[in-house]
């Protein structure tokens, strides 16, 4: 079941609409150009996870696209309205994904803004154990590590509605005996998954280090990656940012794809080569993320 709420000038805090009926005009630039931004949040264990971080990132993405957004307080109110209606139907506390979408709207009529709350199936929400993790392929993103800096119009690091490339990468992976993909720059830097951030852990005599690629390459600043860094920090692990190469992934003691709804999924092979995932490190990450605010 899903609940949809639009934020309109008449109803800035949201008004429920029927998600099974058409609600967007065919001229809306979300549909005609993929011109807009979005966020996906998780409601789990009775709360919206990382709400402020998601609202901040939505604002940052909108700024990059020069898109005017409703105030954060209106998004919060609309989320509460949608969640309330969702829980009336799905049961108190039921787990849900909350998608916030901001489109440039119909030309010269201002933006279109809505919240969509949908149930999350257990298998999608539950982290894979190291034993049932993901086979991934490395895919060339087609630009080098400095492109984000050189070409801001690429909107690297903004969470735009233009996800056709990301979906194509996942289809490519699935057509090539894999479950998901990790993008790599043309000059060999690890970036991110099509819908996830990449984490790797290294264990040495000196302790455990958790690493993620550097944001300057134009990857999305992941809210789950940030939460994982907090978890790891509390566990006494060292933290660091790339540059990371494919060789770093293959030599790691654990590689994970992390994102808001999926949380942490261990990677078990890369381009057909098995990679280990230390079960103890996996447990710390998965349990910590599950408990994290």
Which residues of the chain form contacts with ligand PLP (CB under 6 A)? Answer: 40, 192, 195-197, 220, 222-225, 258-260
Cα atoms in the Cβ-side hemisphere of radius 13 Å centred on 213: 32
* Closest listed residue to residue 96, CA positions, set 122, 127, 118: 118
Quick one: CA dihedral 238, 239, 241, 246, positive or negative?
A: positive
- State the nearest-atom distance from the C-beta of 195 to ligand PLP, in Å: 4
For ligand PLP, give the closer residue by CB, 62 or 106: 62
For ligand PLP, give the closer residue by CB, 255 or 258: 258
Cα distances (angstroms) measured from residue 267 to each of 71, 146, 175, 201, 203: 38, 27, 18, 12, 17
- State the nearest-atom distance from the C-beta of 74 to ligand PLP, in Å: 21
For residue 4, the surrounding DSSP H or E stretch is strand 2-7
- State the nearest-atom distance from the C-beta of 196 to ligand PLP, in Å: 5
For ligand PLP, give the closer residue by CB, 198 or 252: 198
* Closest listed residue to residue 15, CA positions, set 107, 108, 123, 113: 113
3-state secondary structure at position 86:
helix
For ligand PLP, give the closer residue by CB, 62 or 220: 220
- State the nearest-atom distance from the C-beta of 289 to ligand PLP, in Å: 10
Instruction: Measure the N-to-C terminal CA separation of the chain; round to a whole number of Å.
Output: 25
3-state secondary structure at position 211:
strand
For ligand PLP, give the closer residue by CB, 40 or 217: 40
- State the nearest-atom distance from the C-beta of 27 to ligand PLP, in Å: 27
- State the nearest-atom distance from the C-beta of 245 to ligand PLP, in Å: 19
For ligand PLP, give the closer residue by CB, 106 or 141: 141
């Amino acid at each position: 079941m899903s609940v949809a709420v639009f934020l309109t000038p008449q109803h800035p805090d949201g008004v429920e609409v029927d998600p099974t009926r058409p609600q967007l005009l065919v001229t809306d630039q979300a549909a005609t150009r993929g011109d807009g931004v979005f966020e996906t949040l998780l409601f789990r264990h009775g709360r919206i996870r990382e709400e402020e971080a998601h609202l901040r990132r939505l604002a940052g993405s909108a700024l990059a696209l020069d898109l005017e957004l409703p105030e954060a307080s209106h998004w919060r109110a609309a989320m509460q309205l949608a969640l309330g209606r969702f829980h009336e139907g799905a049961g108190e506390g039921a787990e849900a994904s909350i998608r916030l979408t901001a489109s440039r709207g119909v030309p010269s009529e201002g933006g279109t803004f809505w919240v969509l709350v949908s149930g999350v199936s257990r298998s999608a929400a539950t982290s894979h154990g190291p034993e049932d993790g993901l086979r991934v392929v490395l895919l060339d993103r087609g630009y080098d590590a400095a492109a984000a800096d050189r070409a801001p119009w690429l909107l690297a690091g903004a969470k735009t509605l233009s996800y056709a490339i990301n979906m194509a990468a996942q289809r490519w992976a699935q057509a090539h005996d894999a479950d998901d993909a990790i993008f790599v720059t043309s000059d060999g830097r690890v970036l991110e998954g099509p819908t996830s951030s990449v984490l790797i852990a290294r264990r040495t005599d000196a302790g455990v280090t958790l690493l993620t690629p550097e944001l300057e390459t134009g990857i999305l600043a992941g809210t789950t990656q940030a939460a994982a860094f907090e978890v790891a920090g509390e566990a006494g692990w060292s933290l660091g940012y790339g540059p990371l190469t494919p060789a770093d992934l293959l030599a790691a003691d654990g590689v994970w794809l992390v994102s808001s709804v999926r949380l942490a999924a261990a990677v078990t092979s890369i381009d057909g080569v098995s990679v280990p995932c230390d079960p103890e490190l996996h447990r710390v990450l998965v349990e910590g993320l599950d408990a994290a605010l």
